[in-house]
Chains A and B, each alone.
Chain A
Amino acid sequence: MIQTTQLSKKYGKTEVLHIDSLEIPTGQSFGLVGNNGAGKTTYFNILLDLVRPTTGAIVNNNIQVNTSEDWKTFTGSFIDESFLIGYLTPEEYFEFIGDLRGMNKADIAKYLHQFDEFFNGEITGKKKYLRDLSKGNQKKAGIVAAMMGTPKVIVLDEPFANLDPTTQIRLKMIIKELTRDKQVTVLISSHDLTHVTEVCERIVVLDKGNVVKDIQTSTETLKELESYFSV
Chain B
Amino acid sequence: MISHFLKLEWKQYFRSANWQKSVFLNILLILFALYFAASFLIIGIGGFYILEEQFPDKDPLILVNSFLLFAIVGDLIFRYIMQKLPVMNIKPLLTLNIPRNKIVHFILVKSSFSFFNIMGLFFYIPFSVVLINEGYEFVGVLGWLATMILLIQSANFLNFLINKNNISLGGLVTLLIGGFLVQQYEVFNLAGFVGEGFDFICQNPITAIAFLALLIVLYVLNYKQLRNEVYLDALISEKTKEANASDLSFADKLGDLAPFIKNDLRLMWRNKRTKSSTWMILMGLGYGLFFYPQPMYAKMEFMYVLVGIFSTGTFLINFGQFIPAWDSGYYKMLMSQNFKYHRYLESKFTMMTISVVALFVLGIPYIYFGWKVLLVHFAAMIYNVGVNTHVILYGGTFNRKKINLDEKAALNLQGTGAVQWLIGLPLMLLPMGLFALVNWLVSFEIAVVVIAGLGFIGIAFHQKIMAFITKKYITNKYVMIHAFNQEN
Contacts and interface: CB of A to CB of B under 8 A. Distances in A.
B332 A100 contact: no
Interface string B394-428: 00000000000100000000000000000000000
Nearest to A128: B243
A52 B240 contact: no
Nearest to A97: B337
A82 B241 CA distance: 20
B374 to A, nearest CB: 37
Nearest to B267: A87
B242 A128 contact: yes
A83 B338 contact: no
Interface in A64-122: 69, 72-73, 75, 77, 79, 82-89, 91-92, 95-97, 99-102
A224 interface: no
B270 interface: yes
Contacts, number: 82
Contact of A82 (B240, B245, B267, B332): B332
A73 B338 contact: yes
Nearest to B271: A87
Contact of B259 (A89, A99, A127): A99
B371 interface: no
B266 A92 contact: yes
Contact of B330 (A72, A85, A102, A132): A85
A198 B262 CA distance: 41
Interface string B292-324: 000000000000000000000000000000000
Given A83-B330, A96-B259, A88 B336 contact: no
A86 B329 contact: yes
Nearest to A65: B336
A50, A89, A91, A101: residue with the most chain B Cβ atoms closer than 10 Å: A50
A69 B95 CA distance: 48
Contacts of B340: 69
Contacts of B241: 129, 132
A84 B336 contact: no
Contacts of A73: 338
Given A87-B266, A91-B245, A129-B243, A51 B338 contact: no
B466 to A, nearest CB: 17
Contact of B263 (A51, A77, A88, A127): A88
A96 B266 CA distance: 12
A72 to B, nearest CB: 4
A107 to B, nearest CB: 14
A201 interface: no
Given A73-B338, A100-B337, A79 B332 contact: yes
Nearest to A83: B333
A87 B240 contact: no
A147 B338 CA distance: 13
Nearest to A126: B243
10 contacts: A51-B478, A51-B481, A52-B478, A82-B333, A83-B336, A86-B405, A92-B266, A95-B259, A96-B259, A128-B242
Interface of B: 240-245, 258-259, 262-263, 266-267, 270-271, 329-330, 332-333, 335-340, 405, 478, 481-482, 485
Q: 5 closest A-B pairs (Cβ-Cβ)?
A: A83-B333, A132-B240, A72-B338, A99-B259, A87-B270
Given A96-B259, A129-B270, 16 more contacts: A48-B336, A49-B335, A73-B338, A77-B336, A82-B333, A83-B332, A83-B336, A84-B333, A85-B263, A85-B330, A86-B405, A87-B271, A100-B337, A128-B243, A129-B240, A129-B243
